[in-house]
Structures are given as C-alpha cells and as structure tokens.
Amino acid sequence: MRMVTLPGGESVPALGLGTWHMGERGSDRAAEADALRCGIDLGMTLIDTAEMYGTGGAEEVVGAAIRDRRDKVFLISKVLPFNASRNGTVEACEASLARLGVEAIDLYLLHWPGPSPLEETLAGFEDLQRDGKIRHWGVSNFDTSEMKALAIEPGGSACVTNQVLYNLARRGIEFDLLPWCVARSMPVMAYSPLEQGRLSGNKALAEVAGRHGVTELQIALAWVLDRDGVIVIPKAGRLDHVRQNHAALGIRLTSEDRTALDHAFPPPSVKRPLEIL
C-alpha cells in the first residue's frame, strides 16, 4: 500500500474506502459491511463516511464493519454545513460517534461551505479535539478562494485535507486548487474517482486497459493514484469491486499511457469553478 503523509507527519493509505450510498437499504447492509472488512484486510484501512450518507445509515454500516478492528482503521466522517455552528458541530459529531460505535473519529470534515461562519465551525472542531472526540479536522468541497479564506482564520492552518470531486473527467482542480494544497503539504482527497462508473466505455481508456490486461475503470483509478498528494476513496459495496480497486495499486502507467489519457481527457488551461456531485 502506498502511503500519503498528512500535515503533522501521520501517514494514511493512498487508497481507501468510500461509503457514499451505503446504508440506504437494509437488505444491502451485510454485504456492504463485508466489503469494507475485505478492504481493511487488503490494507485499505482509511474509511470515509458522513452523517449525510444514508441519513446516518452509512455510519452504522461502517460501525458494524469495524467493530472488532477499530485500531486498524483511520476513520473519517463529516458534519453537514446546516449543523456546523459551534454547538451543532459538537452535537453532530456525538451523534456520528454513537452510530459508528467509537469513542473518537480520526478526521472530521465540514462537508461543504455553508451558512455557519467558519469561526463557529472551527471552534466546534477545537472543542471536539480538546475532548478527545476527534483527532484531526478538514474540509470538503472547498475551492481555492475558500481555502485561502480558511487559511487566514484563527486556527485555520490546522486543516489537514480538502476532499473534492476529482477524476479523469473532472480535472479542474489541477489548475490552481491542487497545486495550492500540494504547496502546503496538504493532501487532496478524491471522491468519485471513477465518476460512479461512467468513465467505462471511453476508447482511450479501453486501449490503455488492453495494454495492461485490466479493466478501463482500473486504469481510471490507477491514474488518480498516480497523482502526487492525492488520497483516493472509491466506493465499492461488493467484494469483487473492492478487490478490483485494490488491484489498481499494482498498475504502473507508462508515459505513453499518460499522454493518451491527457489527449482524451485534457488538463485544464483556465480556472474552472469547483465541480460538486
């Protein structure tokens, strides 16, 4: 497993486990928990979830999956911006802790910019850190201007990551947001790295995949994993998908592969607004 270093020196897996859309149907929960346990056993020990996913159901699935292996997992969850006042952030985190069945969350994120002043949310994060309920905090879906505003807030420099939409078809962050974060040794966390499967069928991806004897989506995942300073969190609710995602770690893209993919999915030449799913 390739590792990525957070500000402060802690290392986490470059390939983790996403849980968006998990916990939405009770009949799927056992299989989803099995998939997460499989990923943990393969070394994908970073798990990302949120109070929003499945209206708390995804956190319950994660809690079931890690019940006997909490010490192996780097656990991430998120507070909705509508709950992100100082007291609301604390209350939301405590509810997440109860659903997860844990005493502390390793990394707690503000899910996207919202109505609460940043100073309120940061005060809530600091309260939670003081009480040992979270270890680190970060943000999600923040564009460059929002990251700059965060950085000048009192305590804002303690942010350890920005989780954003990033894949071959959504490369806008490469123009300024990704370089801004990399310059500050702050990893970006890429959600929907496979565009929810919609990248499959692209001719260039198919040609590269054919050269390596793998699937198109494995090449798309390997491409994101190839980027410096990026943590990747694909969601996989079935054992076979988890294993396929893990196998992408072994793919080594050539310069010919990268050129072909850049031609099919050009990098940005101008600033683009941050894309959000």
C-beta neighbour count of 247 within 10 angstroms: 15
* Alpha-carbon Rg for the chain in angstroms: 18
Could you confirm whether 191 is annotated as catalytic?
A: no
The CA-based angle 124-184-245, given to 5 degrees, is 85
DSSP β-ladder status, 11-13 and 17-18: unpaired
For residue 104, give the amino acid letter: A
Q: Which helix (H) or strand (E) holds 163?
A: strand 162-165
Q: What share of the chain is helix, strand, coil (3-state, %, to 5)?
A: 45, 15, 35
For residue 123, the surrounding DSSP H or E stretch is helix 118-130
Determine how many CB atoms are found less than 10 A away from the CB of residue 184.
Answer: 13
CA distances from 175 to 138, 144, 211 (A): 21, 10, 29
Q: Which of the following is catalytic: 53, 108, 166, 191?
A: 53
Instruction: Give catalytic residues, as residue numbers.
Output: 53
